[in-house]
């Protein structure tokens, strides 16, 4: 296990070097890490999709309500960019998805249940990085099709795609090309060879539009997306457990962990539900701001 931790830490360090240029080009983090002089502020980062940005906003506001100085660096990018940023000190805290983070750190991970994933993730985190208590709330990856496509090909599970995948275009984020929870896993575990792959956004409006308009016939969407029900889409059952449990979990630099931080974020995790995520994502889709949605959720649970 120690070897895997060292290996993960080494991988983080190598990616941090290559990520520095990306961060500077997109400027989501502002100045280079060396220019950071304020060691007391907790900088909360997020991935490049609304739910992650909302959760980061909730974390920051909950901590601020306890007198902790916070700042946010939202919309950083994919895990391949924001994880090295956490390691090099550009950010201190971010909301993560347990199963996806585990797979990122350990390509050979086989854990699937929430308990097993949490245990394996805790062991896989590199030195200097810690995880707090995972929430029961999950936002799981899924392969979605329209109801028409499901009926045409009699699709109920991902395995049902095997005879027809060569006729279908798969859509998903660019990272799906190289992730186990993407094209690699769909091929290795399910034997799926799609006609082609179309790079879209992270389960967002581009993906939804492409799927609904038949530009792609299968796509990566997430279980907390209200658009699934609104558009009567079908999430195919993952009968071979390609996608591990994706409980929301705060991942934080160990140097920024304190009793107050732990109790505050654990309270957020305890209150958060999958249904909350679906409702809040719906509000974001209707153009409510992150601040408004976060403030109202925190007030409802008496966390601000």
Identify the H or E element spanning 94: strand 93-97
Q: Report the C-alpha gap between 211 and 49 in whole angstroms.
A: 18
pLDDT in tens, 69-90: 999 999 999 898 999 999 999 9
107, 50: one domain: yes
175, 199: one domain: yes
53, 179: one domain: no
28 within domain boundaries: yes
Backbone torsions φ then ψ of 75, nearest 5 degrees:
60, 40
25, 109: one domain: yes
16, 134: one domain: yes
Q: Report the C-alpha gap between 128 and 260 in whole angstroms.
A: 19
CA atoms lying within 13 Å on the CB side of residue 44: 23
**CATH code: domain of residue 70:** 3.40.190.10
pLDDT number for residue 193: 96
* Average pLDDT of the segment spanning 115-130: 96
174, 198: one domain: yes
At CA 233, angle to CA 205 and CA 212, rounded to 5? Answer: 45
93 within domain boundaries: yes
* Boundary residue ending a domain (211, 235, 259): 235
Ramachandran assignment for 191, one of left (phi > 0), alpha (psi -120 to 50 degrees), beta (any other):
left
**CATH code: domain of residue 227:** 3.40.190.120
Q: Report the C-alpha gap between 119 and 210 in whole angstroms.
A: 37
* Boundary residue ending a domain (184, 217, 235): 235
269 within domain boundaries: yes
264 within domain boundaries: yes
Q: What is the largest CA-CA distance in the chain?
A: 59
Cα dist from 283 to 84, 106, 109, 294, whole Å: 31, 35, 35, 11
- For the entire predicted model, the pTM comes to 0.77
164, 73: one domain: no
229, 94: one domain: no
**Domain range for 74:** 2-138+245-300
Q: Report the C-alpha gap between 147 and 158 in whole angstroms.
A: 14
Which has more confidence, 16 or 222?
222
44, 127: one domain: yes
35 within domain boundaries: yes
Residue 93, token pair as written in the block: 């805290």
Which has more confidence, 179 or 46?
46
* Boundary residue ending a domain (183, 203, 235): 235
240 within domain boundaries: no
271 within domain boundaries: yes
pLDDT number for residue 35: 52
pLDDT number for residue 37: 59
134, 172: one domain: no
Q: Report the C-alpha gap between 208 and 214 in whole angstroms.
A: 10
Range in 61-65, 173-177, 210-214 the model is least confident about: 173-177
pLDDT in tens, 256-300: 999 999 999 999 999 999 999 999 999 999 999 999 999 999 999
276 within domain boundaries: yes
100, 249: one domain: yes
130, 264: one domain: yes
Count of structural domains within the chain: 2
* Strand pairing class (70-77; 248-253): unpaired
């Amino acid at each position: 296990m120690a070897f895997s931790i060292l290996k993960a830490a080494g991988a983080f360090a190598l990616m941090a070097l290559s990520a520095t240029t990306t961060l500077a080009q997109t400027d989501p983090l502002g100045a280079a890490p060396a220019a950071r002089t304020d060691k007391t502020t907790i900088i909360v980062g997020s991935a490049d999709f609304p739910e992650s940005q909302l959760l980061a906003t909730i974390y920051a506001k909950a901590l601020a309500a306890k007198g902790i100085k916070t700042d946010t660096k939202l919309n950083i990018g994919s895990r391949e960019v924001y994880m090295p940023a956490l390691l090099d000190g550009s950010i201190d805290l971010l909301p993560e998805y347990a199963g996806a983070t585990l797979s990122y750190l350990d390509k050979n991970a086989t854990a699937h249940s929430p308990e097993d994933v949490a245990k394996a993730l805790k062991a896989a985190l590199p030195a200097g990085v810690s995880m707090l208590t995972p929430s029961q709330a999950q936002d799981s990856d899924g392969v979605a099709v329209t109801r028409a496509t499901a009926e045409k090909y009699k699709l109920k599970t991902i395995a049902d795609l095997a005879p027809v995948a060569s006729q279908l275009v798969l859509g998903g984020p660019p990272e799906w090309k190289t992730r186990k929870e993407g094209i690699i896993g769909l091929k290795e575990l399910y034997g799926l060879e799609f006609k082609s792959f179309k790079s879209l956004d992270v389960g967002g409006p581009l993906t939804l539009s492409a799927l609904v308009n038949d530009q792609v016939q299968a796509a990566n969407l997430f279980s907390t997306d209200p658009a699934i029900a609104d558009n009567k889409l079908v999430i195919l059952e993952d009968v071979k457990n390609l996608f591990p449990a994706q409980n929301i979990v705060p991942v934080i630099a160990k140097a920024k962990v304190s009793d107050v931080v732990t109790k505050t974020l654990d309270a957020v995790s305890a209150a958060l539900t999958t249904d909350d995520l679906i409702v809040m994502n719906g509000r974001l889709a209707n153009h409510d701001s992150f601040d408004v949605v976060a403030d109202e959720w925190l007030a409802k649970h008496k966390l601000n």
